[in-house]
Amino acid sequence: MKSYPFFRIRTLVAGALLLALAVLLAAQTAVPDDRYRLSRVPDRIILTWSGDPASTQAVTWRTDASVHSAVAQIALADAHPDIESAARTIQARTTLLDVEDVGLTHRHSVGFTGLAPSTLYAYRVGDGEQWSEWFHFSTASREPEPFSFIYFGDAQNDIRSKWSRAIRAAYSDAPKASFMIHAGDLVNRANRDVEWGEWFEAGGWLNGMIPSIPAAGNHEYWNDERNGNARRLSTQWRPQFTLPNHGPEGLEETVYYIDYQGARIIVLNSMEAVGMGRAEDQARWLEGVLRDNPNRWTIVTFHHPVFSVARGRDNPALREHWQPLFERYGVDLVLQGHDHTYGRGTNLMQGTTVRDGEAGPMYVVSVSGPKMYRIDAGAEWMDRLAEDTQLYQIIHVEHDKLLFEARTVTGELYDGFELVKLENRRNRLVDQMAGTPERRQNLPAAAAPAASETP
């Protein structure tokens, strides 16, 4: 009986400490969400396309739900600072979105149309009182002309702290890039607003100046527990990216193409193909887009690789339904992610690896964020590979040449090649691999983590 008061006091003290710890952890967890809190001031401003890049441009942004009437203003860019007097105002389309951990938000989008080709424009977005800064963008030429673009593999993790250096280094090396391709897994958890906040913060004002061409990855999908754990596209995807609607039914704004100055950029949804049985219907759509293609260059991007790089992965549905079309119609470049490693090489239908002379499609897998996997030692299709390395890629497209550069986030040239366009849509490969040592992890193979995530 004498020990009972002491035991009770000890229990109360322990309970109080646990409660204090829980409050502290909750407060720490809430900090990032609070950093991306809503207001009337426009944020997460991003350029995409839903039409012809020579005459249209789409912009999308976020505000709190109190902004019911949003607008964008656009004018020819001029060195004179009085932009407002020449600007025309366009009413935005507004979508109400209930966001996990945030609440009700409004996403606004405007499609600028009737633009002049090869022209620099200034624009801003707001509600008539609260405005963004003025941004610039340039329309594409109607004719084939040289251009450059940036390609990123998965960002996914530690986006603000570590992926930010990839997108900023890429811009430093390619400040005149015409657009940025994101090959899926932009974030780690599809509907978590703080991760999207980090992604937009990492890109910052670049998103408002250089259009993005995003592909959906498996981490842009979530399990809908209320409907039998059905896999569904992020609730944030369509409200925050204004993309073409000409893909197969149900895959609009995740399967689409854009023609840019002599190149056709095709985006596919490999998550729906690999994990949800929609490879064949995308193949039917893809064949029409490849067959009726007036462009000299064809670039395809999606998330899951046709030829895997990491251990423990394989996507036979893509080789069955998509690879034959890439070969038949002379696709030049296939840009992928998912494997959190780097690998590139050519591989023809019969499985022979081509290093000299005429080359089939060049397949590339890359990663721009810090999450890393191990290379599959049995994957013999690769001419160049890397582990444990954050990379970005800069691609230069000319009339009869395509130059590819893979750079580390410290700016070091790690890999390169040139495709020279021949007759019958085939290419000659000129390998320009950098002299830098092959980057491999120092862990013993048995101790290194294999790729373990599901499709």
- What does the pLDDT average to over 178-194? 97
Domain that holds residue 335: 147-431
Tokens at residue 75, please?
């004018």
Instruction: Encode pLDDT of 322-367 as tens digits.
Output: 999 999 999 999 999 999 999 999 864 434 444 445 678 999 999 9
Contact predicate 255/267, CB 8 Å: yes
Q: Rounded CA gap, 36 and 16, in Å? A: 31
For residue 128, the cross-strand partners are none
Q: Assess if residue 1 is contained within a domain.
A: no
Q: In which band, very low, low, confident or very high, does the pLDDT at 12 lie, cut at 50, 70 and 90?
A: low
Euclidean distance between the first and final Cα of the chain, in Å?
60
Q: How many CB atoms lie within 10 A of CB 287?
A: 16
Same domain membership, residue 167 and residue 127? no
In Å, what is the CA distance from 243 to each residue of 48, 58, 251, 404, 426?
Answer: 6, 8, 11, 26, 30
DSSP letter for each residue of 126-154: ESSSSB---EEEEPPPSS---EEEEEE-B
Q: Which of 138, 156, 176 is the last residue of a domain?
A: 138
What CATH number does the domain containing 426 carry? Answer: 3.60.21.10
Q: Assess if residue 33 is contained within a domain.
A: no
Identify the residue whose tokens are 């029409």: 288
pLDDT at 10 over 60: no
More confident residue, 12 or 285: 285
Phi-psi region of 190 (alpha: psi -120 to 50; beta: other; left: phi over 0): alpha
Q: How many domains does the chain have?
A: 2
In Å, what is the CA distance from 326 to each residue of 33, 122, 363?
Answer: 43, 38, 10
pLDDT at 23 over 90: no
Task: Determine the Cα angle at 206 with ends 205 and 211, to 5°.
Answer: 125
Q: In which band, very low, low, confident or very high, does the pLDDT at 243 lie, cut at 50, 70 and 90?
A: very high
Q: Assess if residue 11 is contained within a domain.
A: no
Q: Nearest to residue 164, comparing CAs of 128, 206, 136?
A: 206
Instruction: Encode pLDDT of 111-162 as tens digits.
Output: 999 999 999 999 999 999 999 999 999 999 999 999 999 999 999 999 999 9
Q: In which band, very low, low, confident or very high, does the pLDDT at 19 lie, cut at 50, 70 and 90?
A: low
Tokens at residue 199, please?
């992604």
What CATH number does the domain containing 133 carry? Answer: 2.60.40
Contact predicate 269/321, CB 8 Å: no
Cα dihedral: 60, 65, 71, 73 (round 10): -60
Tokens at residue 314, please?
């394989």
pLDDT at residue number 448 = 46
pLDDT at residue number 374 = 93
Instruction: Encode pLDDT of 81-116 as tens digits.
Output: 999 999 999 999 999 999 988 999 999 999 999 999
Q: Assess if residue 30 is contained within a domain.
A: no
Whole-model pTM over 0.85: yes
Same domain membership, residue 80 and residue 169? no
Q: Assess if residue 397 is contained within a domain.
A: yes
Same domain membership, residue 271 and residue 413? yes
Q: Is 414 helix (H, G, I), strand (E, B) or coil?
A: strand
